[in-house]
Structure 1
């Protein structure tokens, strides 16, 4: 015999009624039948749940502990059963979509686009520092769509069944303290950065850190990374004047941090959208890719440094 939900309901009914006879009537059982079931439940759990007294059934200390857990479990079970019944009666089940993204400004636009096509959908998302695990999750069905990226010479390896749709390619820029002398220029040369301390992300599967270092070496420079940090820690070090770092051209300047183009455009980053060709978003993939392109363009409009770069180099962002 295994513990079942109905056993928890029996225990709670006895405690609420205060006696086996009243509980049996409420449950539409005979009192002997209810007594037999209670003995089985107590044997299963390993101890008496109620003291049988002339005045009724009073929970033991062990019974109180079991009742506390049963009363916390049953509302959740009832809610689950109610939701399942509602979904079963519905002619159009509510779709669920799982999204992933590296740290780029495209996810918000994609969620908006998905809600336009599936207003009732439940959409969940999660961030990831590296693109490789996200592509793996799409390939293995753990994600339905992912925003990923790669670098020249370090392109993401194709995975069976996964569509990798290019969105946009942009140069990498420099993030530096707003009061740094180089912030007075519209673009910065690598020679001018020779003595700077750098903040860089941890090395990971997509090898972006390796791409940065190798590119610097091939241009006769060295990236002296002294801080291996990401996210808010990286921004805090730059704002405090302790480091500079590379950033995407669409990175938005914030108080204390300036963004400048790098002369000669030595480093690039490509945005891609990944989905499974047999997944739930396969048919919508090209439409979502268009919306991702729109989101990238909107992010570029919010970046003064990128707008200046486009003005001086292209009328539109370079093709992916």
Structure 2
């Protein structure tokens, strides 16, 4: 992992707050998540930045050096990003869209393309919704498909509108030959007896949310495999582990999707754009088209389609 501007912001936030707990609150992170990120930053830089004490976090001499440099660097970087963002926004025919791994990107691109056919439309994907939200706030993209968990909501950014499309349950992802695949739904307790494949913790709070859910049961799953996307699917397909997935995940040969009994975990799909951006005047129509596309695609995931039939009161689509 390379040092990034967001890491410097984290270091400065801890220095200003004087404790990891207060810094985590200001950054809308959990304290364990912030502690883990700080350890990775310290490993990259090659030394401890703070002395952790009961009274708070005090910079080490090495940390004072890093903090001083970070405070000198960040204003210039922020100014550069703001100036370039204003310059880019001057060309209203450019529409740049970012997306996490979610089922809404295609529907958003189709909606924008239909409503603004003359626009120069591009997209890029990224794992972290927070990084995309920062890009949106800075004007590096005009719209984004984001996601979070209802009890770990994304932070608000000035000038950015967040629109919830749907909150859907999280399902189990299993090898097709796994005994649990024969069941209509899977209990979390049964999953916790298996090895898990999990996403990396940096940049996204999905893993934290999974861990919090498991902590309620008093058990911690064995998670020997860290992977994302296609690699995670291949680990599950090989029969090495189980995992969790979005309800709209489309089954591929070798894996199956099953609802979790009791629906203990949820995921929220969000569309976002700038208040002063080119999509704002078309927002209502874009939302309608994306929702229609989402609903039309739900039958492509048979497990989710069955779940929706059985749980009509939980169809929380706007």
Q: Common fold, TM-score beyond 0.5?
A: yes
Structure 2 counterpart of 1:109:
107
Secondary structure at the aligned position of 2:114 is classed as helix
Structure 1 counterpart of 2:174:
176
User: Among 234, 250, 253, which residue is 2:251 paired with?
Assistant: 253
TM-score w.r.t. length of structure 1: 0.68
- Paired with 2:301 and 2:156, the residues of 1 have a C-alpha distance of 32
Secondary structure at the aligned position of 2:308 is classed as helix
User: Among 150, 161, 169, which residue is 2:159 paired with?
Assistant: 161
User: Among 119, 128, 131, which residue is 1:130 paired with?
Assistant: 128
For structure 2, list consecutive stretches of 5 or more residues without a partner in the other structure.
1-90
- Paired with 1:300 and 1:204, the residues of 2 have a C-alpha distance of 30
Structure 1 counterpart of 2:267:
269
2:101 and 2:127 in contact (8 A); partners too: yes
Secondary structure at the aligned position of 2:106 is classed as helix
**1:190-229 paired onto structure 2 within 5 Å:** 190-229=188-227
Secondary structure at the aligned position of 1:187 is classed as coil
User: Among 285, 288, 292, which residue is 2:286 paired with?
Assistant: 288
- Paired with 2:155 and 2:120, the residues of 1 have a C-alpha distance of 30
Q: How many correspondences in the alignment? A: 228
Q: Which has the larger radius of gyration?
A: 1
- Paired with 1:94 and 1:208, the residues of 2 have a C-alpha distance of 34
- Paired with 1:268 and 1:220, the residues of 2 have a C-alpha distance of 20
1:144 and 1:281 in contact (8 A); partners too: yes
User: Among 303, 308, 311, which residue is 1:310 paired with?
Assistant: 308
Structure 1 counterpart of 2:97:
99
1:105 and 1:295 in contact (8 A); partners too: no
1:99 and 1:144 in contact (8 A); partners too: yes
1:198 and 1:225 in contact (8 A); partners too: yes
1:232 aligns with 2:230: yes
- Paired with 2:101 and 2:317, the residues of 1 have a C-alpha distance of 21
- C-alpha displacement at 1:261, in angstroms? 0.3
Q: Extract structure 1 runs of 4+ deviating beyond 3 A.
A: none
- Paired with 1:190 and 1:182, the residues of 2 have a C-alpha distance of 11
Secondary structure at the aligned position of 1:168 is classed as strand
TM-score w.r.t. length of structure 2: 0.69
- Paired with 2:160 and 2:178, the residues of 1 have a C-alpha distance of 44
2:291 and 2:317 in contact (8 A); partners too: no
1:154 and 1:206 in contact (8 A); partners too: no
Cα 1:308–1:221 change in 2 (3 A) is farther
- C-alpha displacement at 1:224, in angstroms? 2.1
- C-alpha displacement at 1:223, in angstroms? 2.6
CA displacement 1:228-284 (0-9 Å, x = unmatched) = 100111111111100111000000001001000000101000011110001111111
- Greater alpha carbon shift after TM alignment, 310-319 vs 127-136: 310-319
- C-alpha displacement at 1:205, in angstroms? 3.2
The alignment's C-alpha RMSD in Å is 1.6
CA displacement 1:177-219 (0-9 Å, x = unmatched) = 0111110111001121122111111112331110110111113
1:168 and 1:296 in contact (8 A); partners too: no
- Paired with 1:124 and 1:319, the residues of 2 have a C-alpha distance of 27
- Paired with 2:286 and 2:219, the residues of 1 have a C-alpha distance of 40
- Paired with 1:316 and 1:240, the residues of 2 have a C-alpha distance of 33
- Paired with 2:314 and 2:181, the residues of 1 have a C-alpha distance of 25
- Paired with 1:190 and 1:115, the residues of 2 have a C-alpha distance of 41
- Paired with 2:224 and 2:289, the residues of 1 have a C-alpha distance of 38
